[in-house]
A and B are shown apart, each in its own frame.
Chain A
Amino acid sequence: MSYEEVIFYFVAALTVLGGLGVVLARNVVHSALFLIVALMAVAAVFILLSAEFLAIVQILIYGGAVTILILFAMMLTRVRDMPGALDGPQRPFAALAAAAFLAISILAVVSAEWPGETEEITVIAFSDLGDKLFRNWAAPFEVASLVLLVALIGAIILARGEEGE
């Protein structure tokens, strides 16, 4: 077993542990902290896939912004004091659906023939990625920024509330 595989298995175990913590933790704040573990481990998976730029973006956006936003939402909606905020009676069905999806998709992954077994991952330079993003994908990029703007304005209007309330 190469050192790459050892690192991959460690990171994958960390990711799955974090994911299990997110969906199974009995304390909602622990659940959010497990989410941080899972997201950072996914950033490590991105580095193993030689996508350093995405790993950095992942740490900045998810580690910095998203988890803080979620913790604030938990505080404001008082999830901790809310009765029955955790699991509903549909738990067995949820477990069944998740297990069925897992079985089907692992079966598909294992049975499929994957072309292009690369020996070496080609490391993608930041400059090439930026070049592609702003030349070939400029229009989708602009649409994405428009979506962000609309989401920002919508979030402000929704959270502010109506006049005279």
Chain B
Amino acid sequence: MIPIQHFLVLSSIIFSLGIYGVLARRSAVLILMSIELMLQAVSINFIAFAVYLYPEQFTGLIFAIFVITIAAAELGLALAIVLRIFRNKATANVDEVDVLKW
């Protein structure tokens, strides 16, 4: 039996890779890919806790389903916004889109 810590450490590693990607990348599409990685880490955590700690309840699994649903909605909407920005400003790099910056 694999201990639960293994899964938690794996998801921590994936989540920190996602943090690095979000902060280091400049193109909005690449940032969204890193956000997908972070959401995956969250799903692993939810399912690991659901399976190991409360196997008779399904809360973690249901939440993982919702995470996947919201991730799909978020990605579709975010990519539409990115396309819109690209059409208006001819760039998708987040540090060149600074109209709201004071």
Contact = CB atoms under 8 A, between A and B. Distances in A.
Where chain A touches its partner, the secondary structure class is: helix
B34 A22 contact: yes
A151 B33 contact: no
A6 B23 CA distance: 33
B30 A98 contact: no
A84 to B, nearest CB: 6
A80 to B, nearest CB: 10
A19 B18 contact: yes
B29 to A, nearest CB: 5
A140 B73 CA distance: 15
B1 A88 contact: no
Interface of B: 1-10, 12-30, 32-34, 36-37, 40, 43-44, 47-48, 50-55, 58, 61-62, 64-66, 68-77, 79-84, 86-87, 91-93, 95
5 contacts: A8-B6, A28-B27, A42-B44, A70-B75, A105-B8
Given A120-B1, A132-B62, A151-B74, 18 more contacts: A2-B1, A5-B2, A42-B14, A42-B40, A42-B44, A54-B61, A76-B86, A79-B30, A85-B93, A99-B16, A106-B12, A114-B4, A115-B53, A119-B1, A140-B62, A155-B76, A155-B79, A159-B83
